[in-house]
Amino acid sequence: MAVLDYSYLDLYLPRGTSREVARQMLTEHAEHGDWELQRLRLYPDGSRRIRLRRKVIRASRTM
């Protein structure tokens, strides 16, 4: 039986980062690293904090 767990990646995009650049970066992570968006927070100053996650499957030993 496999145990499902998640691996997390926290990213910070500074103020002034365009929406297009942010989209391209997240698309690259999703397509090439199998990351999915868990949370995106946009702050009043324009900066963004992003949390990505991906599944980590650990196989357990069977007898």
Q: 44 or 62: which carries more pLDDT confidence?
A: 44
Confidence of residue 59 (pLDDT cuts 50, 70, 90): confident
Give the CATH number for residue 55: 3.30.30
The model's pTM? 0.79
Q: How far apart are CA 24 and CA 9, in angstroms?
A: 16
Q: Say what the pLDDT of residue 3 is.
A: 64
Q: How far apart are CA 37 and CA 35, in angstroms?
A: 7
State the residue range of the domain holding 41. Answer: 2-59
Question: What's the structural domain count of the chain?
Answer: 1
Q: How far apart are CA 47 and CA 56, in angstroms?
A: 29
User: How far separated are the first and last CA of the chain, in Å rounded?
Assistant: 11
Q: Within 13 Å and on the Cβ side, how many CA atoms surround 58?
A: 6
Q: How far apart are CA 17 and CA 15, in angstroms?
A: 6
